[in-house]
Amino acid sequence: MSESKEKKKPCIQKRLKTWLFNLKPEDKILIVVSVCAMFIYFVFLFFYSSAIFFSFLTSWSAGILGILIGFALDRKIEQIKDNRVKKDFLKLIYGELTEIRGKIPPQSQSVLMLYPEVWDSLISSGVIRLLSSEQVTKLSKIYRNIKGTQYEAEWVRRAVEEFNNVPESQRVRRQWLQNRYLKLWLRYLESGKELSKEIEDILKEDWWK
């Protein structure tokens, strides 16, 4: 029985440390203020009469209450701003994914360049921290596949340019380049169709609303 209690203690301490570490700075300040308030309460209660104590407590608690209300308002305002930024970025990502879907097979038979600028700015600005784990996981997979399709599109464009730069007199070379281009093109078509379906599915998620 005693061994199980000893095993639980490190586990509880570890959870407590993790909880304290994950707290926001304002939450830590609130905890410190609360602990100080309790300490002052017991000190006054022990050394002074109740009349003096309650007189001091009234003025002191008003100041503490004002500080706590200020922290609460700041957190609420910050939360509102974060939600607004998150909503704006999700709207931009929705538009970017819709645009990319229109540039790939089967919607388009041309080899167009794909530029995921909104997603890159979302990561570089740190706004990605506002998204849920589900959103980050699904969007990361989509944009990873977008970059893969973009890479294949570049290979197709290079193959076309290389084919066009070979004179018609070099028939064997042109035939080999044409076959190579067709293989790259078919692979690009397949990747584009798969990516288009994935984008279509993710655009149906409820968290775009």
DSSP string, 45-109: HHHS-HHHHHHHHHHHHHHHHHHHHHHHHHHHHHHHHHHHHHHHHHHHHHHHHHHHHTTSTTT--
Is the residue at 16 inside a domain?
no
CA 152 to chain centre: 27
Structure-block tokens of residue 57: 């407590």
The structure tokens 């067709």 sit at 182
* Rg of the Cα atoms in the chain: 31
Q: How far apart, in whole angstroms, are the C-alpha atoms of residue 194 and residue 31?
A: 51
pLDDT of residue 61: 67
pLDDT at 100 over 90: yes
Is the residue at 24 inside a domain?
no
Is the residue at 98 inside a domain?
yes
Range of the domain at 92: 83-208
pLDDT at 5 over 50: no
Residue pair 193/101 in contact (Cβ under 8 Å)? The answer is no
Mean pLDDT (whole number) for 58-65:
67
pLDDT of residue 152: 92
Is the residue at 59 inside a domain?
no
pLDDT of residue 38: 67
% of the chain with per-residue pLDDT over 70 = 71
**Total domain count, the chain:** 1
Number of residues written out for the chain: 209
pLDDT at 39 over 80: no
pTM listed for this prediction: 0.67
Is the residue at 17 inside a domain?
no
pLDDT at 43 over 60: yes
CA 23 to chain centre: 19
Q: How far apart, in whole angstroms, are the C-alpha atoms of residue 7 and residue 11?
A: 7
pLDDT at 160 over 80: yes
Q: Each residue of 137-157: pLDDT tens digit?
A: 999 999 999 999 999 999 999
- What is the average pLDDT score of the chain? 81
Is the residue at 68 inside a domain?
no
Is the residue at 141 inside a domain?
yes
% of the chain with per-residue pLDDT over 90 = 50
Q: Each residue of 171-193: pLDDT tens digit?
A: 999 999 999 999 999 999 999 99
Is the residue at 185 inside a domain?
yes
